[in-house]
């Protein structure tokens, strides 16, 4: 019988066995939401890279480069980490090299051991649930957090995904996040007003990004990692 | 204005600034519940020590020694980690050296920087809330977890304490645990039936311990660390 567990921070990933598991990497504000949006709007592939220098090197190879640090677009980069910049189809056919504060690091931490790495967002949560129900592997939801700390929006996603799957598990983190999601109710944006990362983004006037990232099931796509590249299945 | 934050695991404590804060160490199943119970029932002091050998050395000095590893009493020790063994006053006046899998380690991680280390349990939560309301320092709730992993019963306590204090904060972990506690409702034991550590203890036939540890406000005591010793204020 398959089961689900949740890792609440990159600092805890060493406590989890990722081998043979499908790892769903989540960074709701905003990397995973942006990845799902970009690929759902025609971007041909995304290479997640860990640092800004490595990302810049792709520029001369004909890639667009997307760089974010501490919530803001990095200097000299074509794109930042706002999903809205990727949602209008203008980047259709482009290849994008992307580095973010938390999300791309999380991917790099699990890509060697996992049977498959998927990118999770509220934007495609139902598609993900349906996909996972067809697969036989156990699932680990890996919350990217904020510089190692627990982030409530990523954890809420874990709860929502687990409730959607309805599998038995004995993971305390998953159990807690199911309760948080149930307590949050239907208005995630209202619930998250007090959350630390939402507040940070509000300071940068990114309220539109927040609302967008919390939109359920805008896309029917599954984003996965194949030989280091994020693509749509 | 004072605030509250929550550290969900010893593996995350380096991300928190403990300096000058009151740190409330929580290990509901069972170290912190046992410490509160013992001291509330006449034990004169407890020295929390990290390993079994160090603990054994106290034996010849006239201390009782309490040792638990992986949920069970360590061989050759006078006492284990069941709060019920400390609840009848038979240990009144005794000094106890204690080592547990998670709780005593958590204490050692914060004792140098914190302005004060308190021991938190559901058994004395209202007394703690009243005490903290009178103090001017910020509060960090430090969940001992299970071998580094998130434990839902410790986190529930963090939520209950924060709701009891009613202070503003921008800590995602605290916010999430408030939601979990609210979702759990009045019957903590029912809610926790699925929790991993409760299941572990059930395997050891420690259901009575679980029920006891979830009893609210059995004691009106504040347990604090003074020069390496846990005592009642």
Q: What's the confidence (pLDDT) of residue B97?
A: 97
Say yes or no for a CB contact (<8 Å) between A149 and B12.
yes
Which residue of A7, A142, A152, A179 to mutate against B (max B Cβ within 10 Å)?
Answer: A179
Question: Does the beta carbon of A177 lie under 8 angstroms from any beta carbon of chain B?
Answer: yes
**In B166-204, alpha helices (H):** 172-184, 188-191, 196-203
- Please give, one letter per residue, the 3-state secondary structure of B122-174: HHHHHHHHHHHHHCCCCEEEEECCECCECCHHHHHHHHHHHHHHCCCCCCHHH
β-strands B64-69, B72-73: how paired?
Answer: antiparallel
Which architecture characterizes domain A4-232 according to CATH? Answer: Alpha-Beta Complex (3.90)
pLDDT in tens, A144-158: 999 999 999 999 999
In terms of Cβ atoms closer than 10 Å to its own Cβ (0-12, 13-18, 19+), residue B24 is buried
Coil, helix or strand for A79? strand
Question: Which pLDDT score, from 0 to 100, does residue B193 have?
Answer: 83
- The tally of CA atoms less than 13 A away on the side-chain side of residue B217 is 8
- Decide if B176 and A171 are in contact by the 8 Å CB cutoff: no
Beta-carbon separation of A12 and B15 below 8 A: no
Q: How are strands ordered across the β-sheet holding B116-120?
A: B4-7, B139-143, B22-26, B116-120, B223-226, B229-232, B45-48, B95-99, B64-69, B72-73
- Token pair, residue A88, equals 């209008």
Class of residue B53 by CB neighbours under 10 A (exposed 0-12, middle 13-18, buried 19+): exposed
Provide the b/e sequence for A181-211 (b: ≥16 CB within 10 Å).
bebbeeebeebbebbbbbeebeeeebeebbe
More reliable by pLDDT, A197 or A122? A122
Comparing A203 with A29, which gets the higher pLDDT? A29
Q: Do A8 and B11 touch (CB under 8 A)?
A: no
Predicted confidence at residue B72, as pLDDT, reads 84
Check: CB of residue A55 under 8 Å from CB of residue A49: yes
Fill in the DSSP letter of residue A119: E
Instruction: Please tell me whether the interface predicted TM-score (ipTM) of this complex is above 0.90.
Output: yes
- For residues A122 and A88, give the distance between their C-alpha atoms in angstroms, rounded to a whole number: 19
**Residues 92-151, chain A, touching B (beta carbon < 8 A):** 147-151
Q: Which has the closest alpha carbon to B119: B104, B135, B130? A: B104
pLDDT tens-digit series, residues B35-80: 999 999 999 999 999 899 999 999 999 999 999 888 889 999 999 9
The C-alpha angle with vertex B110 and arms to B119 and B170, in degrees rounded to 5, equals 80
Measure CA A100 to chain center.
11
DSSP state, A80? -
User: Which tokens belong to A165?
Assistant: 């799957």
C-alpha to C-alpha distance for A69 and A209, rounded to whole angstroms: 16
Q: Which phi and psi (to 5°) does residue A222 adopt?
A: -115, 120
Which of helix, strand or coil describes residue B96? strand
Domain ranges of chain B: 4-232
Contact at CB, A149 and B172, closer than 8 angstroms: yes
CA–CA separation, B57 and B65 (whole Å): 9
Looking at beta carbons, which residues of chain A come within 8 Å of B197? 172
Of A147, A172, A184, nearest to B195 by CB-CB distance is A172
Chain A: give the shortest CA distance to residue B172, in Å.
Answer: 5
At B185 the pLDDT is: 86
β-pair type (A116-120, A22-26): parallel
- pLDDT of chain B, 233 residues: tens digit per residue: 899 999 999 999 999 999 999 999 999 999 999 999 999 999 999 999 989 999 999 999 999 999 988 888 999 999 999 999 999 999 999 999 999 988 999 999 999 999 999 999 999 999 999 999 999 999 999 999 999 999 999 999 999 999 999 999 999 999 999 999 999 988 898 898 877 777 777 776 788 999 999 999 999 999 999 999 999 99
| Residue among A233, A11, A230, A9 at smallest CA distance from A111 | A230
**pLDDT confidence of residue A166:** 96
Nearest residue, CB atoms, B182 vs list A147, A155, A183: A183
Rounded to the nearest 5 degrees, what angle is found at the Cα of A183, between the Cα atoms of A179 and A189?
Answer: 120
> A199 to chain B: nearest residue by CA?
B170
Residue of B nearest to A169 (CA): B194
Residues near A15 by beta carbon (within 8 Å), at least 6 away in sequence: A7, B11, B147, B148, B149
Query: Mean pLDDT in chain A?
Result: 94
Using 50, 70 and 90 to split pLDDT, how confident is the model at A72?
Answer: confident
Q: Does A225 touch chain B (CB under 8 A)?
A: no
Q: Calculate how close chain B gets to A209, using CA atoms only, in Å.
A: 19
Residue in chain B nearest A184 by alpha carbon:
B179
Give B201's contacts in chain A (Cβ within 8 Å). Answer: none
User: How high is the pLDDT of residue B137?
Assistant: 96
Of B170, B176, B196, the CB nearest to A172: B196
pLDDT at A115: 97
Phi/psi for B125 (5° steps) reads -65, -40
Encode pLDDT of A109-139 as tens digits. 999 999 999 999 999 999 999 999 999 999 9
E strand segments, chain A: 4-7, 22-26, 45-48, 64-69, 72-73, 95-99, 116-120, 139-143, 223-226, 229-232
| Contacts with A166 from chain B: Cβ below 8 Å | none
With contacts defined as CB-CB under 8 Å, which chain B residues touch A152? 172-173, 175-176
H or E stretch at A61: none
Examine residue A156 and say whether the peptide bond preceding it is cis (omega within 30 degrees of 0).
Answer: no
Q: Choose the mutation target among B172, B185, B192 for the interface with A, i.e. most A CBs under 10 Å.
A: B172
The confidence score (pLDDT) of residue A153 equals 95
Query: Distance (Å, rounded) from C-alpha B64 to C-alpha B61?
Result: 9
């Amino acid at each position: 019988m398959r089961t689900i567990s949740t890792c609440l921070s990159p600092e805890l990933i060493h406590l989890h066995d990722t081998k043979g598991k499908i790892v769903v990497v989540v960074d709701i504000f905003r990397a995973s939401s942006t990845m799902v949006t970009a690929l759902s709007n025609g971007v041909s592939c995304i290479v997640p890279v860990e640092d800004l220098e490595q990302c810049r090197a792709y520029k001369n190879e004909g890639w667009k480069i997307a760089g974010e640090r501490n919530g803001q677009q990095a200097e000299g980069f074509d794109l930042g980490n706002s999903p809205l910049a990727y949602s209008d189809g203008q980047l259709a056919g482009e290849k994008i090299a992307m580095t973010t504060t938390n999300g791309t690091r999380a991917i790099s931490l699990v890509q060697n051991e996992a049977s498959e790495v998927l990118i999770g967002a509220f934007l495609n949560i139902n598609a993900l649930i349906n996909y996972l129900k067809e697969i036989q592997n156990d699932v680990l939801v890996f919350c990217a957090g904020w510089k190692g700390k627990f982030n409530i929006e990523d954890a809420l996603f874990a709860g929502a995904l687990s409730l959607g799957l309805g599998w038995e598990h004995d993971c305390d983190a998953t159990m807690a996040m199911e309760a948080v999601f149930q307590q949050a109710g239907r208005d995630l944006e209202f619930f998250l007003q007090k959350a630390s990362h939402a507040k940070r983004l509000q300071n940068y006037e990114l309220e539109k990004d927040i609302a967008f990232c919390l939109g359920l099931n805008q896309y029917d796509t599954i984003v996965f990692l194949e030989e280091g590249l994020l693509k749509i299945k």
